[in-house]
Amino acid sequence: MQYQATAGVHTYQFKDLKEVLAKATPARSGDYLAGVAAETYAERMAARLCLADIPLKHILDTPIIPYESDEVTRLIVDSHDAQAFAAISHLTVGDFRDWLLLDSTDTATLTRVAPGVTPEMAAAVSKLMRNQDLILVAKKCQITTAFRNTIGLAGRLSVRLQPNHPTDDARGIAASMLDGLLYGSGDAVIGINPATDSIPALMDLYHLVDDVISQYAIPTQSCVLTHVTNQIQVMEKGAPVDLVFQSIAGSEKANQSFGINLGILKEAYEAALSLKRGTVGHNVMYFETGQGSALSANANFGVDQQTIETRAYAVARHFKPLLSNTVVGFIGPEYLYDGKQIIRAGLEDHFCGKLLGLPLGCDVCYTNHAEADQDDMDTLMTLLATAGITFIMGIPGADDIMLNYQTTSFHDALYLRKVLGLKPAPEFEQWLMQMNIMDAQGRVQPVTGQHAMLQNMPRHLLVAA
Amino acid sequence: MSDALSPDPWQQLRRHTRARIALGRVGSSLPTKEVLDFGLAHAMARDAVHLPLDVAKLAAQIEAQGLPTVQVHSRAADRHSYLLRPDQGRRLSADSADSLQTLPASMAAPVDLLVVVGDGLSSMAVERHVPPLLEQLVQRLPEHWTLGPVVIASQARVAIADEIAVTLKARMVVMLIGERPGLSSPDSLGIYLTYAPTLACSDADRNCISNVRPEGLDYAAAAHKLLWLAREAVRLKVSGVALKDESDMKEVTGSLQIK
């Protein structure tokens, strides 16, 4: 196939599909760093014009990383559902955008088609979509998962409570957990990023969260975000593991840099399933991804960072996760420079994930060397919640004192629920009402010193200093 | 405190963590005081990233401790390029590479441990912590070890120390560099040790000690830990993942994750 298009007086030639995809991508620093971005505004538009005319069937038949050398490509090709694809197999990328926006393309249709959409198709169409298109189509997708509560129902917004502490101090973690629960956060998961890699210390963290969940009978799940091989070890030692976590990326080589492959993920998935700890469902995996991770591992193969990010979602959906989120502004300004780039990337990742059938959440975040601030986060979280984001992060005051970045807070989640009329997962909502933390209208209730959770604190907080 | 504010009756838990817990609320939003506190912390962290390192002042302080200094610059011409092009921050500018080649013989002799100071992402961390840390380091240095000049590198990433060490024929190189500033830690210094550095070294070949500052790992403890690792590196002829930190400090390491 010839890849070319005319913009103004100039006809632009592109040597292959991945070059068209890269040059059609809205400008971002990571693609310049990789040397794959369009050189002019006109070249970017020419790439989009070219992309709009490429048939989805051609994208399916043209792997951008070779089948023989990459297990993520093999997973994408081998798991493709031709029957689901039939409904859209006649479309070009441009037609696909139009089709997605039709009123007749409803939730049920999108659910049926999802297994026929490949990451490259999702990434391709997203490059032709404006932010409002990304919001509108994502909003029509509904992906429901369950473990001890039900995540992703219409009109709901869940929150991962992230009670990190720089030295994994049990009292510090318990104090942040209590703070988050009293602000109505924690229905997606209570998930700790540990500072340590030591197995005995990790075992203590699992018991810490499990004790709090049991003590207050909270319909939620826990996770300790250490390397998947550590999680396999603690499961063997009998730790109370609800969800298994791993960072994943969109090429075999990038996953190798994380010390994983599909085989290791499968082993962990089966081990977690065998524990049968879910009560209302059995989605036992939790994944994080982020634009820039493949390039930072020198494993991007000339593919733009948004397309290769979307390939990570094929890895995620294979393991039927309860949760998967992009960590959109975390890696730094060399990948997403400023608020504008972070906001666009967040909306793209959410749209692509939802189109592929993933329960996608977002760590709406930035670092202090990026040109961004909390106002940009307000904008992105509001847009994502409008688009039906499955979950966001909840950190005390939006300041993660262990990972040194800023994300969203318990207060932010309350703002979104209030402005957009969103509620927590239904089982968790019931619990919040029983505990007098939230009323039936979703308003947080005044908490006095006599509140049951303060009168009867987690034992980890009562241990003498 | 305004009447509108609902304080949280679990403020006593703040003694357990520096996390921003028990902030209270107005409606369900943050009280004004907390919005301003956060804004101030962010301003400090932003300034830490963008304030240029006062190289002349730092050089004078280090020389006052009896250590000669050399100043170099990376290929990143300014802070904007530095932030967008990590590759440029990892290599010496052509001028700096030349000037290191032509150092007087007294400074160019092969050394056991070369110290490089890089501005990194927080000049504040470097200005505050490098002089007192060097003092602790020199006091504890094994007697027969040679140190060489302290090289101060501007617009520097960690790996620029490899090129400097190769040029100056150092057996080991220590990079003292300003870390990515956090909201509650705008001045955190990182230490990276590399044994037998070459241009082909990666992060897996280095040992890292992070959060060096009085509120985190103090100077004496950081110097002790660094020299423990350096002695082990000499004994095992290796640094990085193959050199496990078993000094007396609790080990705090990042794992292979996006976040």
pLDDT tens sequence across B55-78: 999 999 999 999 999 999 999 999
Domain A145-444 matching CATH 3.20.20.80: the answer reads: no
More confident residue, A386 or B203: A386
| Residue B210: closest C-alpha in chain A | A166
Cα A432 to Cα A159: distance, rounded to the nearest angstrom: 14
Rounded to a whole number of angstroms, the distance from the CA of B121 to the nearest CA of chain A is 7
Cα B134 to Cα B111: distance, rounded to the nearest angstrom: 17
Asked if A240 and A206 count as a contact pair (C-beta separation under 8 A), the reply is yes
B31 in reach of chain A (CB within 8 A) = no
- Which CATH fold would you assign to the domain B50-242? Rossmann fold (3.40.50)
| pLDDT at residue B203 is higher than 90 | no
Interface probe, candidates B12, B17, B179, chain A, greatest A C-beta count within 10 A: B17
Cα A453 to Cα A256: distance, rounded to the nearest angstrom: 44
A232 in reach of chain B (CB within 8 A) = no
User: Strand, helix or coil at A406?
Assistant: strand
A195 in reach of chain B (CB within 8 A) = yes
Does the beta-carbon distance from A334 to B19 stay under 8 Å? Answer: no
With tokens 């290769």, the residue in question is A308
The pTM (predicted TM-score) of the whole model is 0.93
If one counts every other C-beta atom within 10 angstroms of the C-beta of residue B259, the result is 21
Asked if A294 and A300 count as a contact pair (C-beta separation under 8 A), the reply is yes
**3-class SS letters over A326-349:** EECCCCCCCCCCEHHHHHHHHHHH
Asked if A424 and A432 count as a contact pair (C-beta separation under 8 A), the reply is yes
B-chain CB neighbours of A454 within 8 Å are 9-10
Cα B13 to Cα A54: distance, rounded to the nearest angstrom: 59
Q: Please give the C-alpha separations between residue B137 and each of A263, A282, B67, B141, B221, in angstroms, as whole numbers.
A: 46, 54, 12, 6, 10
Among partner residues B16, B23, B256, which is closest to A169 by beta-carbon distance? B16
Does the beta-carbon distance from B21 to A176 stay under 8 Å? Answer: yes
> For the residues B169-181, what does the mean pLDDT come to?
95
Q: What is the pLDDT of residues A122-157, one digit of tens each?
A: 999 999 999 999 999 999 999 999 999 999 999 999
Cα B134 to Cα B66: distance, rounded to the nearest angstrom: 11
Cα A435 to Cα A428: distance, rounded to the nearest angstrom: 10
- The amino acid that residue B111 corresponds to is V
Rg (CA), chain A: 22
User: Strand, helix or coil at B81?
Assistant: helix
- Residue B70 token pair: 């050399």
Q: What is the pLDDT of residue A459?
A: 81
DSSP assignments along A196-237, one per residue: ---HHHHHHHHHHHHHHHHHTT-S--EEE-S-HHHHHHHHHT
Q: What is the pLDDT of residue A457?
A: 85
Q: What are phi and psi of A219, to 5 degrees?
A: -75, 75
User: Strand, helix or coil at A131?
Assistant: helix
3-state helix, strand, coil in chain B (%, to 5): 40, 20, 40
- The amino acid that residue A123 corresponds to is A
What is chain A's pLDDT, residue by residue, as a tens digit (465 residues)? 899 999 988 999 999 999 999 999 999 999 999 999 999 999 999 999 999 999 999 999 999 999 999 999 999 999 999 999 999 999 999 999 999 999 999 999 999 999 999 999 999 999 999 999 999 999 999 999 999 999 999 999 999 999 999 889 999 999 999 999 999 999 999 999 998 888 999 999 999 999 999 999 999 999 999 999 999 999 999 999 999 999 999 999 999 988 999 999 999 999 999 999 999 999 999 999 999 999 988 999 999 999 999 999 999 999 999 999 999 999 899 999 999 999 999 999 999 999 999 999 999 999 999 999 999 999 999 999 999 999 999 999 999 998 889 999 999 999 999 999 999 999 999 999 999 999 999 999 999 999 999 998 888 787 644
Q: What is the pLDDT of residue B218?
A: 93
**3-class SS letters over A440-453:** CCCCECCCCCCCHH
Q: What is the pLDDT of residue B258?
A: 59
> For the residues B126-144, what does the mean pLDDT come to?
96
Region at A271 (left for phi over 0; alpha for psi -120 to 50; beta for the rest): alpha
Does the beta-carbon distance from B258 to A195 stay under 8 Å? Answer: no
The reply, when asked if residue A296 is annotated as ligand binding, is: yes
Domain boundaries, chain A: 10-140, 145-444
Does the beta-carbon distance from A401 to B17 stay under 8 Å? Answer: yes
CA A130 to chain CA centroid, nearest Å:
20
| pLDDT at residue B254 is higher than 70 | no
- Residue B208 token pair: 């890292």
Q: Which residues contact B27 (CB under 8 A, 6 or more apart)?
A: A418
Long-range contacts: A141-144, Cβ < 8 Å, 24+?
A141/A107, A141/A110, A141/A111, A141/A114, A141/A354, A141/A355, A141/A357, A141/A388, A142/A107, A142/A111, A142/A388, A143/A354, A143/A357, A143/A358, A143/A359, A143/A360, A143/A390, A144/A359
Does the beta-carbon distance from A175 to B41 stay under 8 Å? Answer: no
- The DSSP call for residue B16 is G
Considering the four listed CATH numbers 3.40.640.10, 1.10.220.70, 3.40.50.20, 3.40.190.10, the one that applies to the domain covering A10-140 is: 1.10.220.70
| pLDDT at residue B252 is higher than 50 | no
More confident residue, A280 or B242: A280
A341 in reach of chain B (CB within 8 A) = no
| pLDDT at residue B235 is higher than 80 | yes
B-chain CB neighbours of A194 within 8 Å are 255
A192 in reach of chain B (CB within 8 A) = no
Domain boundaries, chain B: 50-242
Q: What is the pLDDT of residue B2?
A: 65
Q: How many residues does chain B have?
A: 259
Q: Which residues contact B8 (CB under 8 A, 6 or more apart)?
A: A179, A182, A447, B21, B22, B23, B24, B25
Cα B29 to Cα A410: distance, rounded to the nearest angstrom: 9
- Which residues 355-414 of chain A have a CB within 8 Å of chain B? 363, 367-369, 373-374, 395-401, 403-406, 409, 411, 414
Cα A130 to Cα A190: distance, rounded to the nearest angstrom: 34
A-chain CB neighbours of B211 within 8 Å are 166
B-chain CB neighbours of A259 within 8 Å are 256
- Residue A415 token pair: 């703002």
